[in-house]
Structure 1
Amino acid sequence: MNEDPRLREGLSARSPPGSAAVDVANGVYAALDLGTNNCRLLIASPAGDGFRVVDSFSRIIRLGEGIAATGSISEAAIDRAIAALSICSDKIRYRKAKRLRLIATEACRAADNAESFRARVASETGIKLEVINRETEATLAVIGCSPLLDPRGRGAILFDIGGGSTELVRIERDPEANAPPRIKAWMSIPLGVVTLAEHFGGRDVSADSYARMVAEVAQYVAPFAAEHARDISDMHMLGTSGTVTTLAGVHLNLMRYDRRRIDGVWMNNSDVTAVITRLLGMSYQERADNSCISIERADLVLAGCAILDAIRDAFPLPRLRVADRGLREGMLVEMMREDGALRAC
């Protein structure tokens, strides 16, 4: 794997000459995150101490559907991914993005046919995917979400609940010093909402099956918590995932999902418990009919809640801050800092 941040794979020969090179004369950057469940794209230009979003795209594609059972990405999932990535490729070209990072995560780390899948993606869409390791995934999540750290606190337990894996990071900062936050420790759990729902069932979730999901995740979290759950006073939870943004939308009783009201919202521990209890009391159809969940997440959201509950049990912190941001924002900030378009901190 190529870990040099200056040498990213990008669009293939189908793209305009130089599009994969570090040529940022027009100041347009693109970050693509092909996950086990979602395909997300963010195109932006530097603006002041941050960036201005030029275009974006997000679609649930369930790339990792069935991988746990078969070991391979299915043809149906490949077709869904290529359809979404074709839209992303068109957007990148239309916006004339010159600095790209196009990543794939757990599904492409785990699948036996990941290499042939990537080759087909490159051939049909022009997108050359970089499969990142779990440490890089955790680092990018921290970069993307660190602006939401409480400036008066000592740090956070950040978690990113994905489709095929979950990253858990202890971030520390000194509120008395003007120093950037640092990663104290991190771990990756080989369980996400897709893999957990496929194993335990996601449509009809009983109290017993939910408890078994929590117990399964807790086995992975326990060693990390034994070492890093001490001395967490003045810290908070910081969550980035479809699970926590969905919980926040339900908590706020939104008629439709609104990122402006979700990103950065605080939830008390009792708020989180109340929303999860509410979801556990819903039928599959009731979850599907909820505009903040929809049919796309109705069979996954309780698996995500189980992962969150296992983390909450291990790190009993009173507050959770919700982040509707993550890997894409982390990639954009990292690239812009490397190019001197943003101040490194």
Structure 2
Amino acid sequence: MTAPASNVIASVDLGSNSFRLQVCENHNGQLKVIDSFKQMVRFAAGLDEQKNLSEEAQERALSCLSKFGERLRAFRPEQVRVVATNTFRVAKNIGQFIPKAEQALGFPIEVIAGREEARLIYTGVVHTLPPNGDKMLVVDIGGGSTEFVIGSDLQPTNTESLPLGCVTYSMRFFQGKIGQKDFQAAITAARNEIQRISKLLKRTGWDFAVGTSGSAKSIRDVMFAENPQEADITYAGMQKIAARIIDAGSTKKARLEGLKPDRLEVFAGGLAVMMAAFEELDIQKMMVTEAALRDGVFYDFIGRQLNEDMRNQTTAEFQQRYHVSLNQAARVAETAQHFMESICHAYNTPVQELAHWQQYVRWAALLHEIGIDIAHTGYHKHSAYILEHADMPGFSRQEQSILSLLVLGHRGDVRKMAEPINGNQMMWFAILSLRLAALFCRARLPLELPPFTQLRLDEHGKGFMLRISQSWLDEHPLVAGALEYESEQWQKINMPFTVQPQ
């Protein structure tokens, strides 16, 4: 099967209500949609009280992903980005599901944090609806979470994500006959959640409000069908829709003109959340845009291809925030990448996979000392904690976990890494490369490795071997001693590390 042209890219948005696949041609930053698929998977509806996904929900999802996988079969890894949202974040058994999902789809899945989801949504909106210097409030009601973003240019100033969505609220409040008390209970519950961020958002302020995604569009469509002169969402208009649903006893019986059949089961929940947002944030009216998370993924994707990767900007901001020595970080990064390239070439690692891991090694090296800003003792643990739990725009949760593990493992007892790494060979390569880089750069002075310094697998393929000049080691006894300690560390986990002087 012939691979698509290099300017063809695809995004997959695994939401709590629907899964979407969109294929676009990139013409110098202008996107042209050439194919799209959408399936209402109702993934969040499969969560039980313990936050475990049912087998039925998993089967629905896998069936959809197999279809997406067929469409993407000829695509190269660099042409596809897959992001997953709230249900993937909260499901306790998602770890068992993701490998099956990735196998069905054929591409890795990024579970993105709520604020990263908010940033990507805003990225999609700001590229399709430029605010021209005015502040805009973007509200995106998804299946399991709602994102609130304020911004006036390409980067938002506020990004928030709350656990309320059209699927979860429809299941929680609107399972039987819908009455006035049900609607009020749903609105009150949503307002209680939004109160956590309302003061901050109001303090920042905005000039106009924008709604995105299915719930906002459905509410707009129903209001437009009732009154074609009204193009925006208003509170009065939503009150009329809610009254019709309450009088009829259900969304289906209300026979709302303009409402698509696939939104019937989740419309009331989305409406209640939107009414709560209007009440709590004093929103007067809201325009609706077709832009959504998938558009933000595309524009962020293009930015990465143009060497404008948001992850690099985040890394630089973290270095500044935590007062990192830029010269030392750069030295460690360059040395770590040298060792990583050396061992991966010896292992015949595919070029694409090497490039992928070289990025992780570089980011980890640039950020490995951020914990020193908290305390020098055990700083690698502080660094790892920050990288695991901080909001890092551009990075997925999986990427943050990888960086956290690399930084945690760059010094100290290697045995602590055996369980979390669980046999991932590329992770071991990266950790050893970072450990050696920190070791060689310990003097915090400009470093030039001796010629032909190479990191290799040993002859049995179960350990590592470092080839280095004996005369250089003689001139650097501190490094030589540290290498002996390193050898002792790797022996503890039956992965021998030996130094072979040349």
TM-score tier, shorter chain, comes to 0.7 to 0.9
Please tell me whether the aligned partners of residues 284 and 298 of structure 1 are also in contact (alpha carbons under 8 angstroms): no
Establish whether residue 88 from structure 1 lines up as the match of residue 43 from structure 2. Answer: no
Pairing 1:252-263 to 2, within 5 Å after superposition: 252-253=224-225
Larger Rg: 2
Aligned-pair CA distance for 1:248: 1.6
Q: Secondary structure at the match of 1:56?
A: strand
What residue in structure 1 maps to residue 91 of structure 2?
111
Establish whether residue 59 from structure 1 lines up as the match of residue 52 from structure 2. Answer: no
- Aligned in 2, Cα 1:321/1:202: closer, same or farther, shift over 3 Å? farther
Query: What is the CA–CA distance in structure 1 between the aligned matches of 2:54 and 2:291, rounded to whole Å?
Result: 28
Query: What is the CA–CA distance in structure 2 between the aligned matches of 1:332 and 1:273, rounded to whole Å?
Result: 36
Query: What is the CA–CA distance in structure 1 between the aligned matches of 2:140 and 2:220, rounded to whole Å?
Result: 15
Pairing 1:149-168 to 2, within 5 Å after superposition: 149=129, 151=131, 154-168=134-148
Query: What is the CA–CA distance in structure 1 between the aligned matches of 2:175 and 2:135, rounded to whole Å?
Result: 33
Query: What is the CA–CA distance in structure 2 between the aligned matches of 1:38 and 1:113, rounded to whole Å?
Result: 19
Which one-letter code corresponds to 1:185 in the other structure? N
Query: What is the CA–CA distance in structure 1 between the aligned matches of 2:280 and 2:111, rounded to whole Å?
Result: 30
Aligned-pair CA distance for 1:269: 4.7
Please tell me whether the aligned partners of residues 251 and 271 of structure 1 are also in contact (alpha carbons under 8 angstroms): yes
What residue in structure 1 maps to residue 304 of structure 2?
338
2:10 is aligned, of 30, 34, 55, to 30
Structure with higher strand content = 1
Structure 2 length normalisation: TM-score? 0.56
- Unaligned 5+ runs, structure 1: 1-15, 174-179, 255-260
Q: Deviations over 1:161-216 (max 9, x none)?
A: 11111111122x2xxxxxx3432222211121122122222453211111111111
Query: What is the CA–CA distance in structure 2 between the aligned matches of 1:220 and 1:238, rounded to whole Å?
Result: 20
Establish whether residue 200 from structure 1 lines up as the match of residue 173 from structure 2. Answer: yes
Q: Name whichever of 136-145 and 318-327 sits farther off.
A: 318-327
Aligned-pair CA distance for 1:292: 3.9
1:236 is aligned, of 198, 208, 212, to 208
Pairing 1:160-179 to 2, within 5 Å after superposition: 160-171=140-151, 173=152
Pairing 1:272-287 to 2, within 5 Å after superposition: 272-284=238-250, 286=252
Which one-letter code corresponds to 1:164 in the other structure? G
Q: Deviations over 1:226-252 (max 9, x none)?
A: 12214646x111111211111122122
Q: Deviations over 1:61-107 (max 9, x none)?
A: 01111415142111111111111111211222367785111111111
Runs of 4+ in 1 over 6 A off after TM superposition: 341-344
- Aligned in 2, Cα 1:287/1:230: closer, same or farther, shift over 3 Å? farther
Q: Name whichever of 240-249 and 122-131 sits farther off.
A: 122-131
Q: Name whichever of 76-85 and 285-294 sits farther off.
A: 285-294
Q: Name whichever of 132-141 and 67-76 sits farther off.
A: 67-76
Query: What is the CA–CA distance in structure 2 between the aligned matches of 1:272 and 1:290, rounded to whole Å?
Result: 12
2:283 is aligned, of 317, 323, 327, to 317
Q: Secondary structure at the match of 2:215?
A: helix
What residue in structure 2 maps to residue 100 of structure 1?
80
Q: Secondary structure at the match of 2:282?
A: coil
Aligned-pair CA distance for 1:307: 0.8
Establish whether residue 134 from structure 1 lines up as the match of residue 100 from structure 2. Answer: no
1:186 is aligned, of 146, 151, 159, to 159
Please tell me whether the aligned partners of residues 202 and 300 of structure 1 are also in contact (alpha carbons under 8 angstroms): no
- Aligned in 2, Cα 1:209/1:336: closer, same or farther, shift over 3 Å? same
Establish whether residue 326 from structure 1 lines up as the match of residue 292 from structure 2. Answer: yes
- Aligned in 2, Cα 1:86/1:182: closer, same or farther, shift over 3 Å? same
Establish whether residue 146 from structure 1 lines up as the match of residue 110 from structure 2. Answer: no
Query: What is the CA–CA distance in structure 2 between the aligned matches of 1:26 and 1:276, rounded to whole Å?
Result: 48
Q: Secondary structure at the match of 1:182?
A: coil
Please tell me whether the aligned partners of residues 73 and 106 of structure 2 are also in contact (alpha carbons under 8 angstroms): no
Please tell me whether the aligned partners of residues 245 and 322 of structure 1 are also in contact (alpha carbons under 8 angstroms): yes
2:192 is aligned, of 219, 222, 227, to 219
Structure with higher helix content = 2
Q: Secondary structure at the match of 1:183?
A: coil
Q: Secondary structure at the match of 2:43?
A: coil
Please tell me whether the aligned partners of residues 287 and 294 of structure 1 are also in contact (alpha carbons under 8 angstroms): no
Q: Name whichever of 91-100 and 118-127 sits farther off.
A: 91-100
Which one-letter code corresponds to 1:221 in the other structure? I
Q: Secondary structure at the match of 2:73?
A: helix
Higher relative CO (Cα under 8 Å, sequence separation at least 6) belongs to: 1
What residue in structure 1 maps to residue 270 of structure 2?
304
2:56 is aligned, of 53, 76, 86, to 76
Q: Secondary structure at the match of 1:304?
A: helix
- Unaligned 5+ runs, structure 2: 311-502
Q: Secondary structure at the match of 1:42?
A: strand
Q: Secondary structure at the match of 1:69?
A: coil
Structure 1 length normalisation: TM-score? 0.79
- Aligned in 2, Cα 1:156/1:121: closer, same or farther, shift over 3 Å? same
Q: Secondary structure at the match of 2:188?
A: helix
Query: What is the CA–CA distance in structure 2 between the aligned matches of 1:238 and 1:168, rounded to whole Å?
Result: 10
What residue in structure 2 maps to residue 248 of structure 1?
220
- When the two chains are superposed, the root-mean-square deviation of aligned CA atoms in Å is 3.0
Query: What is the CA–CA distance in structure 2 between the aligned matches of 1:166 and 1:58, rounded to whole Å?
Result: 20
Please tell me whether the aligned partners of residues 144 and 325 of structure 1 are also in contact (alpha carbons under 8 angstroms): yes
Please tell me whether the aligned partners of residues 49 and 342 of structure 1 are also in contact (alpha carbons under 8 angstroms): no
